[in-house]
Amino acid sequence: MNVKEIIAKRVAKELKDGDVVNLGIGLPTMVANYIPEGMDVTFQSENGFVGLGQAPEEGQEDKDLVNAGGQPVTVVPGAAFFDSSVSFGIIRGGHVDATVLGALQVDEKGNLANWMVPGKMVPGMGGAMDLVVGAKKVIISMTHTQKGKPKILKVCNLPLTAAGQVNMIITEMGVMQVTDKGIVLTELNPEYTVEDVKNATEAVFVVAEDLKEMEI
Amino acid sequence: MNVKEIIAKRVAKELKDGDVVNLGIGLPTMVANYIPEGMDVTFQSENGFVGLGQAPEEGQEDKDLVNAGGQPVTVVPGAAFFDSSVSFGIIRGGHVDATVLGALQVDEKGNLANWMVPGKMVPGMGGAMDLVVGAKKVIISMTHTQKGKPKILKVCNLPLTAAGQVNMIITEMGVMQVTDKGIVLTELNPEYTVEDVKNATEAVFVVAEDLKEMEI
Amino acid sequence: MRNKVVTIEEAMHHIKDGMTIMIGGFMAAGTPEKFMDALVKKGVKDLTIIGNDGGWPNKGIGKLVCNKQVKKLIASHVGLNPEVGSQMNSGELETELVPQGTLAERIRAGGNGLGGILTPTGVGTIVEEGKEKITVDGKVYILEKPLKADIALVGASIGDKKGNLYYNKATKNFNPLMATAAELVIAGAEKIVEVGEIDSNDVMTPGLFVDYIVEV
Amino acid sequence: MRNKVVTIEEAMHHIKDGMTIMIGGFMAAGTPEKFMDALVKKGVKDLTIIGNDGGWPNKGIGKLVCNKQVKKLIASHVGLNPEVGSQMNSGELETELVPQGTLAERIRAGGNGLGGILTPTGVGTIVEEGKEKITVDGKVYILEKPLKADIALVGASIGDKKGNLYYNKATKNFNPLMATAAELVIAGAEKIVEVGEIDSNDVMTPGLFVDYIVEV
Catalytic residues of B: 46
Q: Do D195 and B50 touch (CB under 8 A)?
A: no
Q: What is the pLDDT of residue B215?
A: 84
CB C123 within 8 A of CB C140: yes
Q: What is the pLDDT of residue C1?
A: 67
Closest CA to C127 of B120, B140, B163, B138: B163
Tens of pLDDT, residue by residue over C84-126, are 999 998 999 999 999 999 999 999 999 999 999 999 999 999 9
Q: What is the pLDDT of residue A215?
A: 84
What one-letter code names the amino acid at A23? L
CA distances from D32 to C83, D24, D103, D110 (A): 54, 7, 19, 21
CA–CA separation, D92 vs A52, rounded Å?
38
Start-to-end C-alpha separation, chain D: 22
- Chain D contact set for C134 (CB, 8 A): 115-116, 132, 134, 143
Closest CA to D181 of D108, D86, D102, D105: D108
Closest CA to C56 of C77, C35, C34, C87: C77
CA–CA separation, A40 vs A44, rounded Å?
13
Minimal Cβ distance to B65: which of C126, C127, C169: C169
Q: Do A122 and D97 touch (CB under 8 A)?
A: yes
Long-range contacts of range B38-44, CB-CB < 8 Å, 24 or more positions apart?
Answer: B39/B15, B40/D1, B40/D2, B41/B15, B41/B16, B41/B17, B42/D208, B44/B20, B44/B87, B44/B90, B44/B91, B44/B96, B44/D208
What's the gap in Å between the CA of A48 and the closest CA on chain D?
A: 6
Name chain C's partners: 3 or more CB pairs within 8 A: A, B, D
Q: What is the pLDDT of residue C25?
A: 98
Tens of pLDDT, residue by residue over D25-42, are 999 999 999 999 999 999
* Residue of chain D whose Cα is closest to the Cα of A94: D120
Q: Which residues contact C93 (CB under 8 A, 6 or more apart)?
A: C65, C70, C71, C72, C73, C84, C87
- Chain C contact set for D201 (CB, 8 A): 166, 168-169, 202
Q: Do C201 and D168 touch (CB under 8 A)?
A: yes
Q: What is the pLDDT of residue A26?
A: 86
Burial B96-117 (b: 16+ CB within 10 A, else e): bbbbbbbbbbbbbbbbbbbbbe
What CATH number is attached to the domain comprising A176? Answer: 3.40.1080.10
Q: Do C101 and B47 touch (CB under 8 A)?
A: no
DSSP 8-state secondary structure symbol assigned to residue A56:
P
Phi–psi pair at A151, nearest 5 degrees: -115, -15
Q: Do B46 and C174 touch (CB under 8 A)?
A: no
- Chain A contact set for D103 (CB, 8 A): 84
Tell me the residue range of the domain where A41 lies.
Answer: 3-213
Minimal Cβ distance to D201: which of C114, C136, C169: C169
Distance of CA D37 to the CA centre of its chain: 16
Higher pLDDT: A2 or D2? It is A2
CA–CA separation, A205 vs A152, rounded Å?
10
> Could you give the percent of chain A with pLDDT greater than 90?
94
- Chain D contact set for A89 (CB, 8 A): 101
Alpha helices in chain B (DSSP H): 3-12, 84-92, 128-134, 194-199
State the helix-helix crossing angle for D100-112 and B84-92, rounded to 10 degrees: 60
Average of per-residue pLDDT across C52-72: 96
CB C160 within 8 A of CB C193: yes
CB C100 within 8 A of CB B91: no
Q: Do D112 and B82 touch (CB under 8 A)?
A: no
Name chain B's partners: 3 or more CB pairs within 8 A: C, D
- Chain C contact set for A17 (CB, 8 A): 1-2
CB D111 within 8 A of CB D89: no
* Residue of chain A whose Cα is closest to the Cα of C194: A78
What one-letter code names the amino acid at A147? K
* pLDDT for residue A95 is more than 90: yes
Q: Do B80 and D1 touch (CB under 8 A)?
A: no
Minimal Cβ distance to A92: which of C112, C160, C164: C112
- Chain C contact set for D202 (CB, 8 A): 201-202
A191 noted as active-site residue: no
CA–CA separation, C204 vs B26, rounded Å?
33
Count how many domains chain B has: 1
What's the gap in Å between the CA of B147 and the closest CA on chain C?
A: 23
Q: What is the pLDDT of residue D196?
A: 96
Closest CA to D147 of D107, D96, D92, D179: D107
CA–CA separation, D32 vs D157, rounded Å?
10
Write down all domains in chain D, each with its CATH number in brackets.
8-116+145-215 (3.40.1080.10)
Q: Do D157 and A64 touch (CB under 8 A)?
A: yes
What's the gap in Å between the CA of D121 and the closest CA on chain A?
A: 5
Minimal Cβ distance to D121: which of A62, A69, A92: A92
* Residue of chain B whose Cα is closest to the Cα of C167: B64
What's the gap in Å between the CA of A216 and the closest CA on chain C?
A: 24
Minimal Cβ distance to D169: which of C168, C169, C201: C201
* Residue of chain B whose Cα is closest to the Cα of C121: B130
- Chain C contact set for D115 (CB, 8 A): 118-120, 134, 136-137, 139, 141
- Chain B contact set for D201 (CB, 8 A): 81
Q: What is the pLDDT of residue D2?
A: 75
Q: Provide the total of helices (H) and of strands (E) in chain B, helices listed first.
A: 4, 15
Q: What is the pLDDT of residue C118?
A: 98
Q: How would DSSP label each residue in C115-134?
A: SEEEE-TTTTSGGGTTS-EE
Strand partners, D205: D165
What are the residues of chain A with a beta carbon less than 8 Å away from any beta carbon of chain C? 17-18, 20, 40, 42, 44, 49-51, 75, 77-82, 85, 88-95, 133-134
CB D40 within 8 A of CB D68: no
Catalytic residue among A5, A37, A46, A213: A46
DSSP 8-state secondary structure symbol assigned to residue C208:
G
Q: What is the pLDDT of residue A96?
A: 98
Model-level pTM? Answer: 0.98
* pLDDT for residue A144 is more than 80: yes
Tens of pLDDT, residue by residue over C38-58, are 999 999 999 999 999 999 999
The parts of chain B modelled with pLDDT lower than 70 are none
Minimal Cβ distance to D80: which of A45, A70, A122: A70
Tens of pLDDT, residue by residue over A5-43, are 999 999 999 999 999 999 998 899 999 999 998 899 999
What's the gap in Å between the CA of A160 and the closest CA on chain C?
A: 20
* Residue of chain A whose Cα is closest to the Cα of D83: A121
What's the gap in Å between the CA of C187 and the closest CA on chain B?
A: 16
Q: Do A18 and C2 touch (CB under 8 A)?
A: yes
What's the gap in Å between the CA of B96 and the closest CA on chain D?
A: 9
Tens of pLDDT, residue by residue over D106-164, are 999 999 999 999 999 999 999 999 999 999 999 999 999 999 999 999 999 999 999 99
Minimal Cβ distance to D112: which of B17, B79, B89: B89
CA–CA separation, B59 vs B47, rounded Å?
22
CB B136 within 8 A of CB B182: no
